[in-house]
Structure 1
């Protein structure tokens, strides 16, 4: 069976990996996985193949039969436990290498399940496990959703906390601090947007927030609809009143961290309100959604 694709490796945070479909003989007879060339190539990046024990009537080599692995629990996506699993050359000659199941410890499978092995750079051991045949697609979907969460506010706008603090300082009449940010922006623009919105959420004006002691109005946060990290998409500054919206704290987190379908719904409402501005930037709705993995 093949090596994992680059997209699959990205979803696992892995540097290498491979998988195979477990045969009936492997699952019910030998109770072991005969590693193919791709799986052995992955294994060899963490273990020296010559250190595995050889059976089958060969001279006793004194090598251990069990080696530590991280074992995948597919029911709790990407939850690992360390186990020592038997892995040996079962014949006196040849390169056939088998990894034996340990059903008493949960390392077992049924015919047609998927065996997977992959490596992550910082881990000392390979990660191995079985994924039921009916859960294979859902396994990758779950990984994709976790990846979407990683594409969070800290990735889209790592300076957001500092920015919101500067907006508050500006609202309080304080001096504008010259804080170094990856994408500098003017908090006075945000202040203007929040005032223009009458301190209401641009996604849904019925959304309630708490009263800010600075403004004595509902607390709202300024959000750049086209993220500042995508300034390279246009020659015009993204730090402009036309590209900034007022969002309640819940909506601000949701547009960064929510489900893809929820983010897309929010972006649809906000895009319609700002369509003329975004089109001037050369950004259509689908492009905007792509910025949020939506």
Structure 2
């Protein structure tokens, strides 16, 4: 079984610590085909510790009652399901978990399955595609900080100033939590643990129309009509649940908020909303060659890193430069300069390069000269 990479973003997303979260890729020939998972290393440790040695030894059929264990299935919105977990061979340390399509736990080959113990002391289990796993913390890279800041705001604590990629107001988020009476907008009876910061049921704020769609609207998506309080399970299901279950939640939430969204200038139907959740985040664009006519004395800009135009290019191709540390920024800048030099040599094959102090001089065969900062 191939282990999956767990990052700090995954720990924040699942609300647990490193020793309480394990994840692996479902193999095609063994696990997916047979419908069973061999739990090794951390998966074995987490489950054996949670069930405190009360795991049946022998085949699952020999004693179905003892072989059956309860898990909180994230893919089912936090529903408690029963799955069979056994030590199939006496005297061996092999722990086997059986999938169940009927109970909603049937990952495909290549999917990531995971298990973790959360603050509510229940054992959670779930699965998602490898691409969804990779996108955790990247769909809205500021969401973890936003949720943490919200909890501080709800507790009346000092909130650290954070620069978000998408503007958002904590006051609006706090009002939504209070208006929802700290209950999940999907279902008032959804259970959540008590927050250690404010003594209220723990809820998170979700933007119904994702902030990543902001470029499609002239009004802000961080408005009261677009904010919904959710229990942690529903919040994760909207981001990582299978399409049918996710769309059921979206339909229920949109039915209540559609009129208010329209009043706020956000006119959207269920099909359009569902599409927002299916669209993967945009890939980093490759640097596109800039076309320069080789038969004219055009100017070519080899820009210094402080130049606003280069900052803009870096952001377009590598993301928000201002969120990077200095070392990352310089590596990206050097890559950008190298690509620009390659393009220059392609368009001006007879040109010669010489280092002139901090600038890069380019002299063409026709005697024309271009320097840093010269833009046509």
What TM-score does the superposition give when structure 2 sets the normalisation length? Answer: 0.39
Indicate the structure whose relative CO is greater, using CA pairs within 8 Å and at least 6 residues apart.
1
